[in-house]
Amino acid sequence: MCQVMDDELRIVISGGGTGGHIFPAVSIANAIKALHPEAKILFVGALGRMEMQRVPAAGYEIVGLPICGFDRKHLLKNVAVLFKIWKSQRMARRILRRFRPMAAVGVGGYASGPTLNEAARMGIPCLIQEQNSYAGVTNKLLAKKAARICVAYDGMERFFPADKILKTGNPVRQQLLDCGMTREEAAASFGLDPALPTVLMVGGSLGARTINESVMQHLAEVAASGVQFVWQTGKYYSADIKTRLKAAGQPGNLKVTDFISDMGAAYRAADLVISRAGASSISEFCLIGKPVILVPSPNVAEDHQTKNAMALVERGAAICVRDAEARDKLIPLAVSTVRDKARLAALAESIKKMALPGSADTIAREVVRLARGE
């Protein structure tokens, strides 16, 4: 591939479906722009998925493919899925011919399959970024065609050719690292008492039913704990939770919100976090050195969240509670843990050791090298 000037650098980034794919994708794009401000970046996503809103909000152009996943419960519906895959391949080919990227980046999710397949077929060098400790189906299929595979965990040669693997860690939202607040200032922004131990409970933007039900079943214990809780219920569950809390009585030490816009401040205010075990969230906890209780979602492919969580637990870097046990165990465990300063300190020290800072910059430099044929 010929050498190009900075202002000719053209990169396509594809994937999405969840924040865990979108946040790294946008972070990589931002890092490429920081290195080469004149670079042209085009995102390719799946129509109807959250990247179609989140990527433009981050300032980037995106085009959508009509692709979706296979329906394992209703096999006859997959005739339509196969047609959408075929149509998406044709659309991806047209998009790539029109945009003429120098390199293609796949972050996982439906759209990255047809986009990177076509890119490889056209001789465009491809980089895939695998966030999880257990590789996703799309990335496993794309691995043979990729020039570089960026990973966040050891042992990924189980899934990918070892000579293509580069351990970079997962890019995270930069604003989480740039939070300039003290713990006291962050606590005050949520109306919290900085002198009290604080637990932050998050289940993603839509919420996590198990975490929510764990709180509702232990309201009396929350009220009597001497601990303050910040609870992001998620927008999907918000109305129901408000109704139930009104009937049951909301403890004064329980701050409830459907969505937290400033997660940097929320993390800074918290002594302990309760969260699902998505790869992006885990990378954030590692980089900020935050003690965490992980409740892996059982509703993900290959049970990869449990594998993500256990990679930390085995190093003393997190506590894990199985989804099926959380309703009984989660809140009592959180209360006892957040009161145990020695355990919090040990968890913070261990999880910080797993951090891989500068991931987005490292990946961006690899993308540029591929684009330049180096």
Give pLDDT, residue 205. Answer: 58
Mean pLDDT throughout 197-211?
85
Q: Name, in order, each residue with C-beta under 8 angstroms of 341's C-beta and a sequence gap of 6 or more.
A: none
pLDDT of residue 207 exceeding 70, the answer is no
Edge-to-edge strand ranges of the sheet holding 103-106: 61-65, 40-46, 10-14, 103-106, 126-130, 148-151, 165-167
What's the CA gap between 62 and 197, in Å, rounded? 43
Split at pLDDT 50, 70, 90, the class of 337 is: very high
- The percentage of the chain sitting over the pLDDT mark of 90, rounded to a whole number, equals 77
Q: Name, in order, each residue with C-beta under 8 angstroms of 358's C-beta and a sequence gap of 6 or more.
A: none
Give pLDDT, residue 4. Answer: 44
pLDDT of residue 7 exceeding 80, the answer is no
Using CA of residue 261, residue 263, residue 265, residue 269, what is the dihedral sign?
A: positive
pLDDT of residue 148 exceeding 60, the answer is yes
pTM: 0.85
Phi, psi of 43, deg, nearest 5: -95, 145
- The residue whose two tokens read 């992006």 is 280
Lowest-pLDDT range of 29-43, 78-92, 194-208:
194-208
Mean confidence (pLDDT) of the chain: 92
Give pLDDT, residue 178. Answer: 78
Split at pLDDT 50, 70, 90, the class of 5 is: very low
DSSP 77: G
Burial class (CB in 10 A: 0-12, 13-18, 19+), 167: middle
Residues 58-113 have pLDDT tens digits of 999 999 999 887 666 766 777 888 899 999 999 999 999 999 999 999 998 889 99
pLDDT of residue 204 exceeding 70, the answer is no
Residues 92, 122 contacting (CB under 8 angstroms)? no
User: What are 275's two structure tokens?
Assistant: 């969260």
- The residue whose two tokens read 């003290």 is 182
Tell me the residue length of the chain.
Answer: 374
- The percentage of the chain sitting over the pLDDT mark of 70, rounded to a whole number, equals 95
Question: Per DSSP, what are the bridge partners of residue 339?
Answer: none
Q: Which of 199, 282, 200, 274 is nearest to 23 (CA)?
A: 282
